[in-house]
Structure 1
Amino acid sequence: SHQPFVLLLILLASLLVLAPEFVYLRDQFGWRMNTIFKFYYQAWTLWSLAAAFGVALMLTNLRRLWNGLYNIGLVLLLFAALTYPTLSLLTKTNDFNPPFGWTLDGAAHLEREYPADADAIRWLQTAPYGVIVEATTPDASYSDYAHISTYTGLPTVLGWPMHEGQWRGGYTEQGTRMDDIQRLYETSDWNTAQAVLSQYQVRYVYVGTLERVAYRVNETKFQRFLHPVYQNGNVTIYEVP
């Protein structure tokens, strides 16, 4: 019988849900939100497996089950549980009419919004591995910033500052990275720029749309001292020797 294993799944999931009631990791937010996220994700996975077994068990005993009045409550509970999944389909699919077509490609929006970046990302995905520097801002979270690193898998000097600080329990490790990146792009002095590149062992300097939005980019120094290994539209990638 598989029932002991299913009961174990239910028990473990229940313990995961109960755990944040007593213990949680104190992060920058000061409450248990992120601990709940991490624990509940696993709990729902375990419960869903147990629920699948429960549905199968119910179907195999359908005639006997319907003899009990308690099944009225079971049906009501089932319909209540299906309310959100059913109604949310319309919202999540824009009434089954997605404005940009059906896709599972999370990078598809780049072709519409940042076509030059999309092409540069494809180039970087096959380029030699190395640290890349790109634009970021204090309010970069949930924005298009750091998408070069995201879609290439290359490490970047600094991604979304708030999230980076949250993952590390503070901003100590970030240090002066944000100011250093701004200095790198805006300075006209090559020695200053070179010091930043050396400090963070940068291999690729990315200059594109978001860099020009975030900074007053002084590109002359890059053009003079670095080799452009990629250029398309308003995107140029310089390689540090």
Structure 2
Amino acid sequence: NLYAAIEFFNFLLNFKLPGYLFYWNSTRVIENTINEFPYFSFIHADYHAHEVAIPIKILALVFAYEYFTKKSLKSYLLLVFLTFILYLTNSWDFPVFVLFLLILILIRPRKKLKFELILLAFLILLVYAYTITFMSISSSRIVFVNERTNIFEFVEFWFFQLLLAYLYLVDKVSTRFLILVVLLSISLSLLVPIAVLVLPLVILSARKIKKDFLSILIFVGAILLLLPEIIGFESRLNTVFKFYLVSWIFISIPAGIKLVELMESKSKYLKTVAACMLVLSLIYPSVATPIRHYKAEFSLNGMDFVKRISIGDYEGIMWLKDKRGNIIEASADCYTYGGRFAAFTGNPTLIGWACHEVQWRQNPKEIIERMRALDKIYTSYNCDVIWNITKKYKIKYLIIGFEERKKYNVNDSIFDKCGFKKVFEKHGTKIYECMENLQKKQT
């Protein structure tokens, strides 16, 4: 984004090199919000739902394009299926793609709407039934927000996409119509400052959505930019984060196509402008990537770092990969080594990164209770206390590895004394089985 380019040149003008936080700063441009974009998500490598959902969204857009151009029922079915997968992966994307699907349906001839609408309605009912049955919706309440995005910060983040989107849309638009759109946007900007930049995108793209797939992308993307100025799901911070990330993908596709058109233009002026935009937009990936991963040894094996920390833990994770059951391992601060067995085996742990649990869940009492239980497991010398905790949380495997020894100074012998079955031991890492039937044999 433009913010990264400005920051980069500020460093050079002050005869300095960008520091480690250069890769991070351009995701915190708009005050009191998170402004991630796809490239950052991948180099930051924080394996969250919003990152996992990115390739799914792109695949969904492929089928959406095929449905739009060929009216393929097969593509529509796959698009509906992927929308459901997006809900399961990153529920923030579900309402966005429902809106997207609805637009794709409604721009078709009315005689052909019935099946598509019924299928979409069924999908919404299915998701609603699943949500109220299996998920807590305490953090999904809708609130009206009072904060407004600073227009200068908004431009720093969205400059390239907005400019290219406008260049894509303004072709063959009358001057009179443009003036009316601008006047309307200026009047609404008194309530929502960024409306002066975003509302024209909504109006201009709406004029073309029946015949142009890329205009649909701009239309939905622009709506997503305006919504966090009015409502938030639990908070404005996270709403801006999740909606902006989807909007980035939607608007960047037509913006990228327009950039290529400018590069191929016969006008030297347009070619120069396009080249400058391309160079400026490449500053972030070119500079941020080596800064973020200056110590990284590139590999397709995400577990390589575990080998460097503890070969015993690595072997233990490989042994546990094909086993199933709740586990206990050390909890730790965010972005540290704790929770590694749960992360790499998929087995639920008693408590992972407590800092993230506190941040996103609405049950601090449960989190505190689990943290206390975890401490007791590794520090208590009372067999009844240890067994009662494993029974309460239905723990099958207990881990004693590098992190547990460092954090709790664990006395291994207590678990042998209490009757836990040692099922793995290598290079200082041990895994105990702790099912109830073992306790009965011991007693």
Question: TM-score normalised by the shorter chain: which range applies?
Answer: 0.7 to 0.9
1:36 and 2:36 are equivalent in the alignment? no
TM-score after normalising by structure 2? 0.47
User: SS of the residue aligned with 1:126?
Assistant: coil
Structure 1 unaligned spans of 5+: none
Deviation, structure 1 residue 74:
3.8
- Partner in structure 1 of residue 135 of structure 2: none
Q: 1:102 to 1:218 in 2, by over 3 A?
A: closer
User: SS of the residue aligned with 2:430?
Assistant: strand
Distance 1:58 1:72 in 2: 9
Amino acid paired to 2:382: D
Deviation, structure 1 residue 215:
1.3
Amino acid paired to 1:40: Y
- Partner in structure 1 of residue 353 of structure 2: 160
1:102 and 2:305 are equivalent in the alignment? no
Correspondence list, 1:38-187, <5 A: 38-58=242-262, 62-63=265-266, 66=267, 69=269, 72-92=272-292, 94=294, 99=295, 101-127=297-323, 129-137=324-332, 140-187=333-380
Deviation, structure 1 residue 75:
3.7
Q: 1:75 to 1:233 in 2, by over 3 A?
A: closer
Amino acid paired to 1:35: T
User: SS of the residue aligned with 1:174?
Assistant: helix
Amino acid paired to 1:83: I
Structure 2 unaligned spans of 5+: 1-67, 70-210, 436-443
Distance 2:296 2:274 in 1: 40
User: SS of the residue aligned with 1:229?
Assistant: strand
Distance 2:293 2:334 in 1: 25
Note if contact 1:132-1:206 (Cα within 8 Å) is conserved in structure 2: yes
Note if contact 1:185-1:219 (Cα within 8 Å) is conserved in structure 2: no
* Cα-to-partner distance string for 1:65-113 (whole Å, 9 max, x where unaligned): x16x55544443333222223333443453xxxx553213322111111
Distance 1:134 1:195 in 2: 17
- Partner in structure 1 of residue 226 of structure 2: 18
Deviation, structure 1 residue 170:
4.2
Distance 1:19 1:173 in 2: 33
TM-score after normalising by structure 1? 0.83
Note if contact 2:328-2:395 (Cα within 8 Å) is conserved in structure 1: yes
Q: 1:176 to 1:44 in 2, by over 3 A?
A: same
